[in-house]
Amino acid sequence: MGTWDVGAFDNDEAADWCGDLDEAAPGQRPALVEAALTAVLAEPGYLDSGLAVEAIAAAAILAAHRPGGRPIDSPYAPDFLLAGERLALPRRLDDLALRALDRVVGDDSEWRDLWEESDDYDQALRELALIRSVLTPS
């Protein structure tokens, strides 16, 4: 996996997933966000980092659509979002995203193992915490 920073879109696999989301028909995009989150939860055993980074990107997109969410400004995010378009993302996805992020940082996660080996693990966790803080019910 080519990773250049800790942001949700700052790796090859997340950028590729965002490209697929951008190319999808507008009506299919919410289902693709949900599918990325669901795939992490459905994966038995050791979680592949590719699925993890797609779920992180999906959760970041979801959080950006919620009050208090950070705007998406990464050049690796979907172009339609950078152009100001929005998605109709139901609130029920918030809990799904939180559970997916829990799985990403869990014991059986390649994402976690890879980041723990780096000097930027704490910063990567802070990025996820920012996403979580927006999606967590108050």
Q: Is 124 exposed, middle or buried (0-12, 13-18, 19+ CB in 10 A)?
A: buried
21-27 average pLDDT score:
97
Give the separation between CA 8 and CA 126, rounded to whole angstroms.
11
Q: Answer whether residue 4 shows pLDDT above 90.
A: no
* 1: pLDDT strictly greater than 50: no
d(CA 41, CA 46): 11
- The two tokens of residue 33 are 């966000």
Cα distance between residue 78 and residue 100, in whole Å: 21
Per-residue pLDDT band for 56 (boundaries 50, 70, 90) equals very high
Question: What average pLDDT does this structure show over 112-130?
Answer: 95
